[in-house]
Structure 1
Amino acid sequence: MPTHRSFSPKYRTKKQSRPRFTMEAFYLAIIGAGVVGYFGVEVADMSAPVPAFAVGCTIKGNVSINSGERIYHVPGQEYYDATRISPQYGEKWFCSEAEARAAGWRRARR
């Protein structure tokens, strides 16, 4: 004979049932809030340059990390594909080389 009573789940009281708010739900809420916050910041930073980028503006204006020099890259140059534009550092897209030179940027050597 068993030493304790066991009831089917149908007859459990509210105190015996699983709590509605568990630690798993708490952890998921924290992680979800972090992800939303992280991407919310990224989306806010990226929303400004999108309207400025028009079709045909393929020249990448890059600021050198070491010297702070402003250099533009045109398609076909050695480092064009590796160059990433980060508007928060003052980098931007240009539609023509004349526009880049007029803004004070120089052409990349390679």
Structure 2
Amino acid sequence: MSRSWSRRPRYAPPRPRSLWRRLVDYALTVIALGLLILLAARLDRIETRKTEGAAVVNDGDTITLGTERIRMRGIDAPEYSQICRRDGADYPCGKLARQSLVRLISGKPVSCTGWQRDRYGRLLGDCKAGGKDLNRAQVEAGWAIAYGDFEIEEAAARSGKAGIWAGTFDEPHDWRESHDRKVVERKHGTLASIGDALREIFRFW
């Protein structure tokens, strides 16, 4: 009876890297460090701004805090002069949207945070008063539509026929476009914010 024995491979020490390979590794390290420095510099430009104080309510989705004009992020309310229709009659839905926001604030101090600005220079803000999320509450009350965010709240308001959903209306961005406002405001919800952040990070000087 014969047995066959297999030899175990001996441990071979790693070969020293070639000069070319070391140069490539050093170059990749320098590139990675450069990208990190660039990323840090770009992130400085995405600093969140917070402003607070007594609010002047301009319309259903725009307020002024001190010298800062704020467009509430992720929602779109009827313009102040916009007219909607309910029960066969026209009514000033833009003014009612503003009144809804005034009621939600109820004279309390308002705080808004954000880092983006729209094409008019307004801060796109998430605003609160007395712990209440004003952006969300306007959509829930039916006096603003989802504009990049708060789609679940809009669906609930629509099914409950709250606010403008009790009748018919032109969506605010359509109304603006049809009333000689050539600049169309793009949506500015969560996904748009992520896209803006990525563009800001990777945009070169």
Smaller-chain TM-score range? 0.3 to 0.5
The structure, 1 or 2, with the larger RCO (C-alpha pairs under 8 Å, 6+ apart) is 1
**Which TM-score applies when normalising by structure 2?**
0.24
Q: Which structure features the higher share of strand residues?
A: 2
Alignment TM-score, normalising by the size of structure 1: 0.39
